[in-house]
Amino acid sequence: MAEDNKVQGLAWFIAGLGVGALVGILYAPKSGKETREELAQGAREGSEYLRNRTRQAMDQVSTMVDKGREQVGDYVDRGRDAMDRGRAHWEDFVERGRNLVNDQTSRVSAAVEAGREAYRGANTPGPSPE
C-alpha cells in the first residue's frame, strides 16, 4: 500500500512538472532563451529526482529479496530439523516395536515348548499303577 502511494506521488510530481512548465511558459515575463534554460534545468532536476527514486526503489527491492532468501533458508533449516526429529522418533518406535515382537515371540515359543513337554509327559507310558 505504501508503494502505491509512492508511485502515485511520483505520477503527481511528473504531472505537476508538466503543468508548471506550461503555466510558466504562458505567463513568464522572461525571454524565450531564459524560459528554455529554466525548462531544461527543471527537466534535469526532474530526471535526477527520478534517478534517485529509482535507485532507492532498487535498494528496497534488493533488501526485500535478501530478507526473503534469509527467511526461506530459515524455513528450510527448520523443516530439515523437524524431519530429522521425526525420523529419530520413527526409528525409536520401530526399534521398540521390534523388541516387543521379539519378546512376545520368545514368550510364545517358550509357552509352545512347555505345552509340548507337558503333552509328551502326559502321553509317555510310565509305570503302571498297580
How many Å apart are CA 130 and CA 2, to the nearest integer?
111
- Closest by alpha carbon to 56, among 45, 66, 44, 48? 48
Amino acid, single-letter form, for residue 9: G
For 2, 62, 77, the CA distances from 58, given in Å and listed in that order, are 15, 6, 28
The pLDDT value recorded for residue 130 is 54
The pLDDT value recorded for residue 122 is 82
- Closest by alpha carbon to 38, among 50, 52, 51, 22? 22
How many Å apart are CA 35 and CA 21, to the nearest integer?
9
How many Å apart are CA 69 and CA 62, to the nearest integer?
11
The pLDDT value recorded for residue 48 is 92
Sign of the alpha-carbon torsion through 5, 10, 11, 12: positive
Cell numbers of 111, please? 509357552
The pLDDT value recorded for residue 82 is 94
Reading the chain (130 residues) residue by residue, the pLDDT tens digits are 567 777 788 888 888 888 887 777 777 676 778 777 887 898 899 899 999 999 999 999 999 999 999 999 999 999 999 999 999 999 999 999 999 999 999 999 999 999 998 888 887 765 655 5
Q: How many CB atoms lie within 10 A of CB 14?
A: 13
The pLDDT value recorded for residue 121 is 83
Q: Is 83 exposed, middle or buried (CB count within 10 Å of its CB: 0-12, 13-18, 19+)?
A: exposed
Question: What ranges do the domains of the chain cover?
Answer: 7-119
